[in-house]
């Protein structure tokens, strides 16, 4: 939707537009989001696909200024966004993620949050989070009052984009999760509406699944958890799997469905 709006805007000149179209075009031009859109190198948002490089940015955070790629430092990372400070769902989420800090660190994963407010608001909000969740939040929270990073990572819903195209203003950031590997590649994304809180256990589970797949060359079945059987990938023959995992350690239910323990 965003790319379509922009391509139309870029290809049309005001002299060719009707009075109604010209008014809409002018409203979009006045929008801070639209101005950033025109300023992007290719005229549109990056295509954030599984396996694409996580876009770089510079930002202020509660732990100081960062260059995102430098901050990643060849480690696994989770970037997750929040609509605003001092909002109820966001407060419960950040408290829960803070409590899982040791679990993520054991897996070599660093966390970084984003909320669409400035640093002064972030600092006061962290005090509330710590008090309400009885925790100590130490990972950085990005200040994104301009929504420039939310725009870069497409953390904006279609209804909000449509509203921006009509009225201008500032976008409302949805709840997004990006799991990024040491090569700076996006490995998994989750998108939630603002009304729905995330499941921190699921975020931890998919980190385990991704690291298992990378480290052992396997796939993970539905609802998989650490210690449970994994799946032999379809590209690996049963004979190859038995040589790799052990003659008696491959259970074949169908030629395409084989389980093993690792």
Residues with a known catalytic role:
90
- The side-by-side arrangement of strands in the sheet containing 175-180 is 64-67, 58-61, 141-143, 109-115, 76-82, 175-180, 186-192
Strands (E), 95-213: 109-115, 141-143, 175-180, 186-192
Between CA 237 and CA 258 the distance in angstroms is 10
Q: At residue 89, what are phi and psi to the nearest 5 degrees?
A: -65, -45
Q: In this structure, how many other beta carbons lie within 10 angstroms of the beta carbon of residue 189?
A: 15
Six-digit token pair at 163? 């509203």
Between CA 112 and CA 94 the distance in angstroms is 10
Q: Exposed (0-12), middle (13-18) or buried (19+): which is 82, by Cβ within 10 Å?
A: buried
- The side-by-side arrangement of strands in the sheet containing 250-254 is 230-231, 257-260, 250-254
Look up tokens 């909320």; give the residue. 115
Q: Exposed (0-12), middle (13-18) or buried (19+): which is 66, by Cβ within 10 Å?
A: middle
């Amino acid at each position: 939707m965003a790319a379509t709006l922009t391509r139309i805007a870029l290809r049309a000149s005001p002299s060719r537009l009707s009075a109604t179209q010209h008014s809409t075009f002018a409203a979009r031009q006045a929008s801070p989001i639209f101005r950033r859109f025109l300023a992007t190198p290719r005229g549109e948002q990056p295509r954030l696909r599984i396996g694409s490089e996580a876009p770089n940015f510079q930002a202020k955070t509660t732990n100081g200024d960062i260059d995102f790629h430098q901050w990643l430092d060849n480690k696994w990372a989770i970037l997750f966004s929040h609509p605003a400070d001092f909002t109820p769902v966001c407060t419960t989420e950040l408290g829960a993620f803070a409590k899982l800090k040791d679990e993520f660190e054991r897996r070599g994963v660093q966390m970084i949050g984003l909320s669409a407010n400035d640093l002064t608001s972030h600092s006061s909000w962290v005090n509330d989070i710590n008090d309400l969740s009885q925790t100590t939040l130490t990972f950085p929270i990005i200040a994104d009052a301009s929504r420039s990073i939310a725009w870069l990572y497409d953390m904006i819903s279609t209804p909000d984009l449509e509203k921006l195209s009509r009225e201008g203003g500032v976008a409302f950031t949805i709840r997004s999760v990006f799991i990024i590997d040491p090569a700076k590649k996006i490995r998994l994304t989750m998108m939630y509406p603002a009304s729905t809180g995330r499941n921190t256990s699921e975020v931890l589970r998919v980190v385990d699944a991704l690291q298992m797949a990378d480290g052992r060359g396997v796939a993970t079945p539905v609802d998989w958890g650490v210690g449970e059987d994994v799946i032999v990938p379809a590209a690996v023959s049963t004979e190859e799997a038995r040589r790799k995992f052990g003659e008696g350690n491959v259970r074949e239910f169908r030629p395409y469905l084989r389980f093993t323990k690792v």
